[in-house]
Structure 1
């Protein structure tokens, strides 16, 4: 456990080391303000791990979210939102998911109609909307049905350089550190560039140290009156000069060195004019609102440096602030405190098979005693993988994207190299972003930022009872709330009414949708049904148009010989959306059959139109559940208790949880979980289609039968109650890992592009086992593992198995 250093301890040090020039009460106020700002505004983050970043129409995007508060897996919220949109901000789907133990799992279906392009998935909680920069954004590339034979690339473009002085500005006659970022017109980092600092006479001053992702660092001492430029060259014929910010004659340089594995060095140097005005300054360092040091620097006495021991610090962000003798903030520096020991994942191969439907077994181990919360994706390594897609891993999101308040930054992977190189890169990188959550004015005054959103631990039912007449009083009344779920589950709750008739009930949990009924009891204990107005939940207020994506590079089609994509079309293309069974054509159809044909033509798209059985249920039969409807209309076919199999399908008896008769369900051509059958109102079902032996999306979902359900919403009032509806949690699909050990399904073609998606990994004795079957074509696998442990340590592994 880290030692706790109290405010009184800091003040003792300050009283001992400072004279009257520094106001100790003011310093104590600043330390208290910082603590209160962080305590009252905890930072929540929501990383989104998807199974891959390249998709085709008809596939599912499988994902898991990881929630943290102040970078620890102790979330504020139990409700997660996702929205899926194109680059222009047109929302294609919006969902609300129930989180448990700091994570939520789900899937997003990609409609057949989507055209080729870059699409954006955002994940967040309601609380995170108070700081929109923390919202997780993952970009994916979708290859449309008409472009299956095409490939794309990002052409070269002009580039520019942005500069970031360590102290905010350059100061003459002292060594200054200045980071820079080289990006092109698409906001992409320029790689493999060289840079050199030259003066106004074209004379070389210093070589710039280039890190990865177009980020570099220069250390030099500006001479008074001189101008400097950075010469960046991509090749002999492509060189450009970029002028550095002008250096200042007066000021202070704050240097923070984070390169040591055990120490952080903080030093300040100032010009004579600055010292004459500020013989002393105060330096405060804090992590997540907890002050780790507060020291007075005295320039006249050469007391201008301190050393912090990293064993007393937490891994994560640290802010170093400098204040003048008027307690005005004059400099700021952010670093990432990195431990020398990395938390690494190890992946070993127990059995490997690249034959058609070959069985594979891998083992995950960690180099510590933790059992982290992990999710795993295994995909064919020969899928198209465009490098111009911004799709950060968990380390990059938690360290960089979620902390950057200064706009978009392309960064997918930080990676861990040798400690010295990794620390130097992080040091330069932290100079190029702005993690400051609170303004200097807020730190001075403790002015709290405006909070428009609260954190949710469940679904809230909030509204106002309407007065029948102005004389009605509600201050001691109550309202009984009945929440009727779409699956017929019922929640009874009670809320007091305030003097304006407002009521609220929190922490409800229901899926899909719920109907709300209200019954009020007045001061005389008389029950009465009153009209009310229900406030919509956030998911119901999300517009179909949101802000355009901050990232939309101008990629182009690759022309000429494209053997790579030819192989993709041969092995994985879904332009035909799998195999489909032709319907038997019968001449002289009955009236009922003509009705079915009409519904089939109006309700279904081309990809779903043909099926083995198509029926329109008899609406005169008072069905009470979809299972009853199905078994009556399709006589001889019967659900099991879990709805994941149907007896009488003509196959053999089921064996195991991944056999050939596991059913894929579609509601209005959107894939749904078998659990969602409980939420379907049988009176709204107008068409049901059955394929006994072939899944429509064989290439993505695996073999097996499919049931397609089409509904038309009917609006009605029950018992003359005043009612309203709220959207509930979305129901995630279960990823089906087919079991090809059975001979009867081994001859079915398998074109899956996600071989395994496992959102939960179970460790036993420090090891976790992964088992999956190959498809018919993959000759090498890509394994991506991400997660976090109870201490907040982040885990990421990407490995090619061949």
Structure 2
């Protein structure tokens, strides 16, 4: 890589006699730059952002979103991946819905319907990734927590609070649950049963009755803080006979006490050198909490004061002395005091301090050393500053005085995180500091409408104007959302935006509270607080010592393209390759038959297949002489397993209160629909037992929360056979016994359904003793006559309706259970591209044909494919709804050069 000679020249002139450069062949800086360049070339980093139409939703809504996938330090739209996965993950860290979308020029549009036959009220996550991103790990996925409330199907409103008490040195946690109806009246003396769960694990069970306030308390069992993190309470409240309402509560406990951490600037404290020490105080709910205190040395002398400045974060200065240790005496808002030890100082080393001056486009780097370090005369160190894997500055420096200052011109640096690292002469990393650069290199977006005040159902004409910082028009691709902010109020600082996600969150460690605070109205104060954030949360993309060592881990996952290859191997039953074997791929519905031949290693491939959702295949293998005593081994592209929620601070513990305006609006809308003889926006089934009038689809005879027990395969809990998986479920009643015929069958009065077909034990032995790769889900009904009757559907005539049997309902992924196993035949349902709906917005051009129904939409307009012309402009038209209030227009997008843009515009509807 060619280094930026202008930067070297600048520093050489500024610091004559300080900077010493050697030949490129011997220069340790060049070795560092080469190592970074090699990593960047072989590990191009993709990032993802999802622009959604709203910050939260109600059951029955549709999530409309656009996916932006960028690559490299310039945030250009990625051409590497042709497919993106978007998962909707529930509070139990299970994937509730999953989409695979085609990426065109790094962008995709999609939608998720939030039907209450699948989704109850609760906290959910949108997670997005490409197969290529899996090589770097799930820490780099897009992962956002949001709330889904319920309106017409909600007979019970519930909230959770926490009570913390001190018992000696340990903290006791009690969850206080409160249940009310829609009017806020408490459910008094109602039986409650609860389960404390963490993903697939059952941690505790219990029950009781609500008091006169509709409350019941649950003791969270003593455990390490990490044990209850990401757990949830699943409760059933019996509000009437045969009316059990299921409610789920997240256990929002990041720790059992306020956690305070200290971060010396640059990495280490050095005796005799004054240092800035950042600190961060995180409460039990995962959010920053204000603290203050003093620092005392080992002689009980007060040497510094500290007080948080922003979201529990702040910094103080300290000059440690050799032979002394230091403690911080922290005072919390409740008056309690805690004493915490500061990191120990070292006798020999450097302190790396960085001062970002946006007004002069200069970054001042200061390398401080103590007397012990300076005794080693003529020490040469290397300084490297990089952004997104691209080196912005690199130099060798000779340290021969206590403070060496290096001013770096940041005029040509891009916006984003700049990682500044100091290395020894041998190339070992010594210190590191990250700073955030907010440059004038974002889009200048303007939104204009013909007026600022409109009437209901009035046509709105709007123009978007996109320019760069110099005023040059830009051709860009944008997504546009218009919502009624009166119905969907939110705190704009807490939102994830295209700027906060791609420039900040995707590159920094840990949870970031209020990420848009630093960008939506930047001031000197927000910039100073952003620098404090940089002090406390470091860069996470790579570790320098791994790069320097030259370790190159080959990628496990290949980047997917728009078209798919189906590959595999033909082998004998003894697992030896079958060369020249014939492989046939078939889809009867499409009339598709393709043939290929295996190579000398038994490998085969079907190339360039465009696969959509619901397409399945049968693959058949035969030997050269048409024999079928062989095994067809298929390479399957798996989806990423569910991950735990790291955004504990974003979990909403009182959804009905926070989403009150949206819930009330939806209730009003459904009442209007009923007044006109219509059903709701979706056929919503109430939480109490109400029979559905329409026929249920395959695998959906009951809601998941209506089953007594549910099994779904989980890669985090592997088991050898389906039988083993079922018997190892927590607190399960499922067990098998050998009957007189030597067949495994369920103990008790059970019948088995497989893909809605009644199957006898002799016909499902092969499935029971095989792995769970073809299992989608299994429902168990033990006691409820209604649930058993629903599962059995047309078979109920065979049983006593007053006493139907218990049911095990197995649903396979293929939906086509086979009685006999043939290893030469494989049924394969790959994850195909999901169908995407178009957003519908009514038109009110013709008053005579006006819709009599009240239009109470909260999302007024959604357009994920808005493209500006050569003049940087595009015009949009749509109609307001019947709701008055403040309407918020949000435009986000990107151009071919990777310039990001976001703008929010508001107008009033009277």
Would you say same fold, with TM above 0.5? yes
8 Å contact kept, 1:129–1:453 = yes
Q: Distance in 2 between matches of 1:474 and 1:738?
A: 60
8 Å contact kept, 2:415–2:503 = no
1:789 corresponds in structure 2 to 895
8 Å contact kept, 2:274–2:320 = yes
The answer to whether residue 53 in structure 2 is matched with residue 51 in structure 1 is yes
8 Å contact kept, 2:482–2:890 = yes
After superposition, the Cα gap between the structure-2 partners of 1:496 and 1:219, relative to the gap in structure 1 and judged at 3 Å, is farther
Question: Could you tell me how far 1:32 is from its partner in structure 2?
Answer: 1.8
1:409 corresponds in structure 2 to 512
Where in structure 2 are there 5+ consecutive unaligned residues?
165-256, 680-691, 704-792, 795-813
Q: Distance in 1 between matches of 2:678 and 2:666?
A: 24
How many pairs were matched up? 669
After superposition, the Cα gap between the structure-2 partners of 1:361 and 1:154, relative to the gap in structure 1 and judged at 3 Å, is farther
After superposition, the Cα gap between the structure-2 partners of 1:445 and 1:203, relative to the gap in structure 1 and judged at 3 Å, is closer
Question: Could you tell me how far 1:758 is from its partner in structure 2?
Answer: 0.9
The answer to whether residue 133 in structure 2 is matched with residue 128 in structure 1 is yes
Of 122, 144, 152, which residue of structure 1 is paired with 2:150? 144
Of 321, 329, 344, which residue of structure 1 is paired with 2:429? 329
Of 266, 291, 294, which residue of structure 1 is paired with 2:391? 291
Of 463, 467, 477, which residue of structure 2 is paired with 1:363? 463
Say which is worse superposed, 85-94 or 503-512, in terms of deviation: 503-512
2:122 corresponds in structure 1 to 117
Q: Distance in 1 between matches of 2:385 and 2:309?
A: 28
1:107 corresponds in structure 2 to 111
2:176 corresponds in structure 1 to none
2:609 corresponds in structure 1 to 508
Q: Distance in 1 between matches of 2:843 and 2:573?
A: 66
Question: Could you tell me how far 1:332 is from its partner in structure 2?
Answer: 1.6
8 Å contact kept, 1:49–1:64 = yes
2:687 corresponds in structure 1 to none
Of 421, 432, 435, which residue of structure 1 is paired with 2:539? 435
2:497 corresponds in structure 1 to 393
Q: Distance in 1 between matches of 2:599 and 2:550?
A: 32
Q: Distance in 2 between matches of 1:202 and 1:777?
A: 64
Question: Could you tell me how far 1:124 is from its partner in structure 2?
Answer: 0.6
Question: Could you tell me how far 1:128 is from its partner in structure 2?
Answer: 0.9
Q: Distance in 1 between matches of 2:502 and 2:373?
A: 38
After superposition, the Cα gap between the structure-2 partners of 1:532 and 1:141, relative to the gap in structure 1 and judged at 3 Å, is same
1:65 corresponds in structure 2 to 67
1:215 corresponds in structure 2 to 313
The answer to whether residue 551 in structure 2 is matched with residue 549 in structure 1 is no
Q: Deviations over 1:101-136 (max 9, x none)?
A: 111111111121432211011011011112221100
Q: Deviations over 1:378-429 (max 9, x none)?
A: 111123556699752222211332113x443334313154564454333322
The answer to whether residue 893 in structure 2 is matched with residue 758 in structure 1 is no
Map of 1:30-429 to 2, 5 A cutoff?
30-70=32-72, 71-113=75-117, 114-131=119-136, 132-145=138-151, 146-147=153-154, 150=157, 159-190=258-289, 193=290, 195=292, 198-200=295-297, 203=302, 205=304, 210-211=309-310, 213-224=311-322, 225=324, 227=326, 229=328, 231=330, 234=333, 244-261=342-359, 262-277=361-376, 279-300=379-400, 304-340=404-440, 342-351=442-451, 355-368=455-468, 369-385=473-489, 391-404=495-508, 406-413=509-516, 414-418=518-522, 420-429=524-533
The answer to whether residue 766 in structure 2 is matched with residue 767 in structure 1 is no
After superposition, the Cα gap between the structure-2 partners of 1:601 and 1:726, relative to the gap in structure 1 and judged at 3 Å, is closer
Question: Could you tell me how far 1:729 is from its partner in structure 2?
Answer: 0.4
Q: Distance in 2 between matches of 1:275 and 1:15?
A: 17
Q: Distance in 2 between matches of 1:602 and 1:729?
A: 21
Map of 1:327-726 to 2, 5 A cutoff?
327-340=427-440, 342-351=442-451, 355-368=455-468, 369-385=473-489, 391-404=495-508, 406-413=509-516, 414-418=518-522, 420-449=524-553, 451-467=555-571, 477=580, 484=587, 488=590, 497-516=598-617, 533=632, 535=634, 537-538=636-637, 546-552=642-648, 555-557=652-654, 565=660, 568-570=663-665, 578-579=673-674, 581=677, 599=695, 724-726=828-830
- What secondary structure, in the 3-state scheme, does the structure 2 residue paired with 1:410 have? coil
Q: Distance in 2 between matches of 1:439 and 1:495?
A: 45
Q: Distance in 2 between matches of 1:210 and 1:489?
A: 67
1:24 corresponds in structure 2 to 26
After superposition, the Cα gap between the structure-2 partners of 1:344 and 1:481, relative to the gap in structure 1 and judged at 3 Å, is farther
Q: Distance in 2 between matches of 1:74 and 1:599?
A: 44
After superposition, the Cα gap between the structure-2 partners of 1:324 and 1:600, relative to the gap in structure 1 and judged at 3 Å, is closer
Where in structure 1 are there 5+ consecutive unaligned residues?
584-595, 608-685, 688-711
Question: Could you tell me how far 1:722 is from its partner in structure 2?
Answer: 7.1
Question: Could you tell me how far 1:783 is from its partner in structure 2?
Answer: 2.2
Say which is worse superposed, 330-339 or 64-73, in terms of deviation: 330-339
After superposition, the Cα gap between the structure-2 partners of 1:390 and 1:566, relative to the gap in structure 1 and judged at 3 Å, is closer
1:749 corresponds in structure 2 to 854
8 Å contact kept, 2:76–2:896 = yes
After superposition, the Cα gap between the structure-2 partners of 1:491 and 1:374, relative to the gap in structure 1 and judged at 3 Å, is farther
* TM-score normalised by L of structure 2: 0.64
Q: Distance in 2 between matches of 1:469 and 1:571?
A: 60
After superposition, the Cα gap between the structure-2 partners of 1:93 and 1:417, relative to the gap in structure 1 and judged at 3 Å, is closer
Considering only aligned residues, what root-mean-square deviation do their CA atoms show, in Å? 4.6
Q: In proportion to residue count, which structure has more strand?
A: 2
- What secondary structure, in the 3-state scheme, does the structure 1 residue paired with 2:60 have? coil
- What secondary structure, in the 3-state scheme, does the structure 1 residue paired with 2:513 have? coil
